[in-house]
Amino acid sequence: MTMRLTELLVPETVVIDFAPASMNVADAKEGLLAAIVADLDQKGWVADRRQATEDILARERVMSTGVGHGVAIPHAYTDGVQRLLAAFYRTREPVAFDGPDGEPVDMFFVMLGPRDSRREHIRLLARLSRLLNYPEFRESVRGARDADGAVAVFRRFGDR
C-alpha cells in the first residue's frame, strides 16, 4: 500500500510561527534544524534525537535543501525515527538557507525516515516537490492561520 503525504502530515507535526531561541546563533540554519528535531522529539515523534539531528545536519551539509520561493525540504534517512515522518514548520522570521534563488526561507517541509523507508521517502519527496510547483499551494500554506489550516491546504490540494 502506498502512503499519501496527507496521511503523514497531521496537525501535531505542523507548527506555525515557529521562533526558537536557537535561530539567533551564528549558524541559524543548523540551529533551526536542531530546534525542529528537538520539537518533534518533545512531541514523541523521534526515537533518538541526537541521531536524527546528526543525520539531518549531515544531509544539509552535503547540499542545501532550499528549493526557492522561501521553501526548504530538509530530509534525511535516519535511525533516529522508527517510521517515516513528515512535518511542516513555518517560521515567524525567514532564515538564510542557501536556496537557489538566494531568498530566505520561512516554510520548512521536513521528512525523516528510517533507512528501510528509502523508496517511500523518495516517492513522497517527489510528490511534495510537484505540489510546491503550484504558486497557489505555496501562497495558501504560507497564509494558513494555524496547524489545522495548513493541513486543510494539503488536503485541498491533495496529492497532485
Of the residues 29, 75, 90, 127, only one is catalytic, namely 75
Question: Is residue 113 within 8 Å of 84, Cβ to Cβ?
Answer: yes
CATH 3.90.1150.10 fits 5-157, yes or no: no
- Predicted pLDDT of residue 26: 53
According to DSSP, residue 25 is labeled S
- Indicate whether 1 pLDDT > 60: no
Residue 121 among the catalytic residues: no
- Indicate whether 23 pLDDT > 70: no
CA 18 and chain centroid, separation: 12
- Indicate whether 24 pLDDT > 60: no
- Angstrom distance (rounded) from CA 3 to CA 6: 9
DSSP class per residue in 42-93: HTT--S-HHHHHHHHHHHHHHS--EEETTEE--EEE-TT-SS-EEEEEEEEE
Band (pLDDT 50/70/90 cuts) for residue 3 is low
Domain regions of the chain by residue span: 5-157
- Indicate whether 153 pLDDT > 80: yes
- Predicted pLDDT of residue 68: 92
- pTM of the predicted protein model: 0.91
Q: What percent of the chain has pLDDT over 70?
A: 93
* Mean pLDDT (whole number) for 132-147: 93
According to DSSP, residue 3 is labeled P
- Predicted pLDDT of residue 121: 85
| Helix, strand, coil distribution of the chain in percent, nearest 5 | 50, 20, 30
